Structure 1
């Protein structure tokens, strides 16, 4: 019997026993309360667990006054596959690395147990990999999660075990007190002296997200995904608290901003996961950028097991908005350029389904940023030169 089932049986038994209390009992009998959600029902069980959660190797701090000229990022790491890419990225000498989702595949082989033992096992496996250990101890890192380290493929805020997944995430990545003190794993940081400040806004596109709308089943299935736009006015990508937080973050002074979303923002060319699933929420994001006059933001995204560059013209902004997708570090779903499979007017080049990482070089004197999608040997696949200042 899985923990999910055994816990449900235990909870039901408690409610039945409460309802069968003797009429001779002295004092009023309180009616049993029904948990408002699966998450609420599981909290007593989680509070009783004494499990020691895994912790990543120590990581050097990134000094607040660092003038950033090179950062790197990536997503989608299968902890059981080759990891030579870590040494390749380290050789590029990035000052920071952003790991932006599917940092392990912790849902592989999941049994439905509420403490998600496969997730803890995946974190431990990642820590055992020498290349990751070496990189983690030498390059400052920032992280957010996606579905496979959240707990289940394509799930969002209704995922029953999300609070334990959050606890495991915050334990492993040694999250800040600010992150630990609120639901979700979103956070922000500004690095650099005045005139060269870089803001990193790492969104949580899982913990609060509304359910996806799925197409009716058909055979053969659609080649570009099963999901339809969710147009429910109450549907959300970030949740109210994170939206309010994001608005506040965008008022902080910075010369350059990176908004990190685990799933793609700009493209609407597929029916897999992305902000395209919630068009009203994407419109809200664009309006927020325009209302705050944020012309200096670049989106970084992952999830797709392929990489590419995308841009969109947003009403109210004087420059195009770029979305740089890098995925996967070692788990690509192809052998080359899949552009013909997924035509996209928003994409500026190929759609590269080969192992890749993203590198970002900032030239403060020229006010230019070079975005380069790179193979796992460090060579350049494609580059884009942008002027977001």
Structure 2
């Protein structure tokens, strides 16, 4: 009942992020015009998905100086002034090409990454080894959970492939690695696995799992979750057992953009790869075998990724766009959010 002279208070509509930009593989020694195109999209968030610089050193002074080069880029400064930035490292900014837990400066590198990207001193990411962490943006009904995985700090060694050069060409394999059958090896480490399970049980409508290396494709011979098939399957199974809806993988590493899809999970699992903020691939890399790539979902050249969310549509849409250095859409995949749910 309303009393005389009173009016109903306006109902606050739920709000949530509509544009999340991300990218990977940014060489601090190259020109970086792409930041202006990213800023022009007016993102609510930018996610660095690894190889944010090319450090490749055990000297922390050298690593810090290379981060300083990134911080001094005017376009990147404009981005930082426009929206929040979240970041995880991959191998080159971790400090060692294809490196894992054997890297002797891993603790120092992890702290530096958190420091450079302004992670507060009381943030949970500083309370454990590695740099994994998560955040939820938006109101109920429009919540986006961003899960940042650390695929380096705890990772056991991976196996070099046994194919010779001719056999690799015939198989259209461009990398150096092959899947292991050693199920004792880990990619994330048990502590991070337990943390991930707890995060997936939290309430959110969309979940962006930032993996740095590709989670769905595995046949190229490059670094990927498929180098440890048991860990890849564990990831897919965990999404099912926690009934975590709305999962979309964001990855980098390979120096081109593509979208891959697997039917091995509780619902279709999409892996949106955007790689090459400044980097271009070897000509053979984009042509390498990938049975999971969706038709037409490939772009070679400097690029960044956009995840656009249309909350106001009759059916919420997830729009994945790979964008060029000029800001043009190179390819687009639209998925109704309801399809990213397990059947009841």
- TM-score (normalizing by structure 2): 0.87
Aligned to 2:195: 245
Could you tell me whether the CA contact under 8 Å between 2:28 and 2:53 is conserved in 1?
yes
Write out per-residue CA displacement over residues 211-260 of structure 1, whole angstroms, 9 at most, x where no aligned residue: 11112484568451111112212111100000000000011011111111
Radius of gyration: which is bigger? Answer: 1
- Match for residue 308 of structure 2? 361
2:320 aligns to what?
A: 371
Q: Secondary structure at the match of 1:145?
A: coil
Are 2:141 and 1:192 aligned? no
Deviation at 1:268, TM superposition (A): 2.0
Decide which of 154, 158, 169 is 1:212's aligned counterpart. Answer: 158
8 Å CA contact 1:106–1:121 kept in 2: the answer is no
1:158 CA displacement: 1.3
Q: Contact conserved, 1:184 with 1:204, CA < 8 A, in 2?
A: yes
Residue 136 (structure 1) aligns with: 80
Q: Does 1:92 align with 2:41?
A: yes
Matched, 1:283 2:249: no
Give the whole-Å Cα distance in 2 for the aligned partners of 1:338 and 1:350: 15
1:22-33 matches, within 5 Å, as none
> Higher strand fraction: Structure 1 or Structure 2?
2
Change (3 A) 1:91 1:334: farther
Q: 1:342 to 1:219 in 2, by over 3 A?
A: closer
- For residues 183-219 of structure 1, give each alpha carbon's deviation from its aligned partner in whole angstroms, at most 9, with x where no partner exists: 0000000111111111111100000011111124845
C-alpha separation between the residues in 2 aligned to 1:167 and 1:197?
A: 29
Contact persistence 1:338–1:353 (CA under 8 A):
no
Whether the 8 Å CA contact 2:39–2:78 is kept in 1: the answer is no
Confirm or deny that 1:74 pairs with 2:6: no
Q: Aligned Cα RMSD in Å?
A: 1.9
Deviations 1:34-93 (A, max 9, x none): xxxxxxxxxxxxxxxxxxxxxxxxxxxxxxx85111111000100111111111110111
Give the corresponding residue for 2:243: 293
Change over 3 Å in CA distance of 1:355–1:122 after alignment to 2: same
SS in 1 for 2:139: coil
Question: Could you tell me whether the CA contact under 8 Å between 1:66 and 1:191 is conserved in 2?
Answer: no
Pick from 253, 258, 261: which aligns with 1:308?
Answer: 258
Q: Which residue does 2:94 correspond to in 1?
A: 150
C-alpha displacement of 1:332: 1.5
Could you tell me which runs of 5 or more consecutive residues in structure 2 were left unpaired when the two chains were aligned. Answer: 1-13, 339-344
1:219 to 1:290, Cα distance in 2 relative to 1, 3 A? closer
Runs (5+) with no aligned partner, structure 1: 1-64
Q: Deviations over 1:362-386 (max 9, x none)?
A: 0112211110011111111110001
Secondary structure of 1:351's counterpart equals: strand
Q: Normalising by structure 1, what TM-score?
A: 0.78
Which residue pairs with 1:256 in the alignment? 206
**In structure 2, distance between residues paired with 1:191 and 1:350:** 28
Question: Contact (CA 8 Å) 2:254, 2:285: kept in 1 or not?
Answer: no
**Which of 112, 115, 127 lines up with 2:71 in the alignment?**
127
Q: Distance in 2 between matches of 1:186 and 1:178?
A: 9
Q: Secondary structure at the match of 1:199?
A: strand
Among residues 270, 275, 297, which one is paired with 1:327 in the alignment?
275
**Aligned-residue offset at 1:344:** 2.0
Shift of 1:342: 1.6
Q: Is the 8 A contact 1:334 1:354 kept in 2?
A: no
1:137 counterpart SS class: helix
Q: CA deviation at 1:304?
A: 0.5
